[in-house]
Amino acid sequence: MGNDTDVAQVGPFTTEVRDMQGEKEAPFSDDPEWNTAQNRYLRKLDYIILPTISALYFFEYLDRGNIANAKHYGYSNGYATYHHGIGPGDGMLSSTQWQLVVMIFYVSLVLFQVPGCIGYRIFSPSKWVAFGVCGWAMTSMLQCTAYNLAGALVCRVFIGFLKPTAVAGAFGGLIAFGIGHIDGSVPNWKWLFLIEALPCFCLGLFCLYWLPDRPMGNSRFCGQDQQIAEARYKNESFDKAGKIQKRHVFWVFTDWRLYVQAAVYLPTAALLSSISGFLPTIISNLGYSKPATANLMTVPPYAAAFVLMLVTSYSSDHFRERGTHITGLMIVATIAYALLATLPEHQLKGKYACVYATYPPSHAWAANNFGNETKRAIGMGYYTALGNLGSIAGSFFYPSTVGAQFKKGHFICMGLAIATGIIALGNSLLLRAINNYRDRKFGKPEAGVAVDVTELADNSPMFRFIT
């Protein structure tokens, strides 16, 4: 590997990555020793990366949802009240002001998403992750010092700037329930921000040491592990990952497929922000009036979503298919929101059983189809920024002025779920048509031959999209 590799042209658009003896690299070797070493390497990689990334997503979503739990512990009350909230004097924040607190995070997230993702391309991922995680954890803890609306908004802006997901919602409710039973002079909402942010800060420092960087030149692997890492990195698509090319950046912003993919994510993001920002409030209006109880009862909806996401993600990965899975999930969400909006007031348990939404693996779908590292890094940032425009809108779906049942918000979410399912199915059919066209014109890709995406990215005739 390293200097011992050569790239052999096969036709005008495809390449085989071969060693100097002319044999294909490791991922397709029939050598039992190599296959054993490869399995050992994969297990090692799983142990290193998967728990850490899972923990990062856990704390990211935990932090995103704690604002809703904090509201029930007096965060929106007046500063002069017993709860020492961020409201004016003895009063509370108005419904519009609270929606602004929730929304401003997503505005910042949209504005800084692309620069944040470019950072992964320029700096080593471990350092960039550590910087972002420690930064957002520190800012989240600083929310404890806010005593007015302006201070809260500044903290939320910086959290969105530094942030680069359903089980965390369940744990957030459990943590909030436990904190609700703390007796003392410090308001419970301050404990909530501290207890949830401090472990996240420690995790960020840990990532600096623990997370491996790109396979080439990675000090975490050496010898045969290094060879396997490089070979697998070049397996499905050969990308030299050199300097950022301007045309790849231009292609990101002119690729119609990205905008269709973002149209799948945008309504999903609106559903997510409306639930994460207002679920305790919705549940409290279903009859669970005590703040601690309302926070605790957010656990079952998130737990149900967590199980469904695991099953769907496994199936989607197994069949290498995304569109119909997303459509199926949105059918479930549509039924749930329809029941929420139409069941009578006295059927609280029936309504409560439907307070969950399923958020499909649309991020994985987008990342699969960007071709090379440059386009993926910038494209994922732009894609997420576009999608989070929906998060800004979702912050206004459930104003407290509309009454206890929130019918209008539920009907809006139902319509968005329908739109997501239709767009996802249409996008899947379009990508299948492109794949079939390339198969007919250029032939099917040969198994074991890496597609050179260094120059053409996903425009390479031999590149095939995940549908």
Tell which CATH architecture fits domain 25-235: Up-down Bundle (1.20)
pLDDT digits (tens, 9 = 90+) for 425-441: 999 999 999 999 999 99
pLDDT in tens, 373-411: 778 778 888 888 888 888 888 888 887 666 667 888 889
pLDDT at 143 exceeding the cut of 60: yes
Contacts of 142 (CB under 8 A, 6+ apart): 155
How far apart (Å, rounded) are the C-alpha atoms in residues 217 and 208? Answer: 17
- Residue 98, sorted as left (phi over 0), alpha (psi -120 to 50) or beta, turns out to be alpha
Structure tokens at 433: 């048509």
Q: Where are the domains of the chain?
A: 25-235, 248-443
Range in 313-322, 341-350, 374-383 with the lowest mean pLDDT = 341-350
Task: Specify the DSSP class assigned to residue 28.
Answer: G
| Average pLDDT for 4-18 | 38
Residues near 321 by beta carbon (within 8 Å), at least 6 away in sequence? 428, 466, 467
Of the ranges 9-23, 211-225, 230-244, 410-424, the best mean pLDDT one: 410-424
Which of the two residues, 202 and 54, has the higher pLDDT score? 202
State the pLDDT at residue 418: 94
For 361-379, what is the mean pLDDT? 79
Task: Decide if 25-235 and 248-443 have a common fold.
Answer: yes
What Rg value do the Cα atoms of the chain yield, rounded? 24
CB-CB contact of 316 with 461 (8 Å):
no
Complete DSSP assignment for 129-145: HHHHHHHHHHHHHHGGG
Contact 125/214 with Cβ under 8 angstroms?
yes
Average confidence (pLDDT) over 332-345: 83
Q: Which helix or strand (DSSP H or E) is residue 230 part of? A: helix 224-233
- 302 phi/psi in degrees, rounded to 5: -70, -35
DSSP state of 78: B
DSSP string, 343-388: S-TT-HHHHHTT-------HHHHHHHTS-SHHHHHHHHHHHHHHHH
| Cβ contacts of 51 within 8 Å, gap of 6 or more | none
Rounded percentage of the chain residues whose pLDDT exceeds 90: 9
**Does the 248-443 domain belong in CATH 3.30.70.360?**
no
Task: State the chain's mean pLDDT as an integer.
Answer: 76
pLDDT digits (tens, 9 = 90+) for 49-96: 888 878 887 887 777 778 877 887 888 887 767 667 888 877 788 888
Q: How far apart are CA 432 and CA 466, in angstroms?
A: 8
pTM of the predicted protein model: 0.72
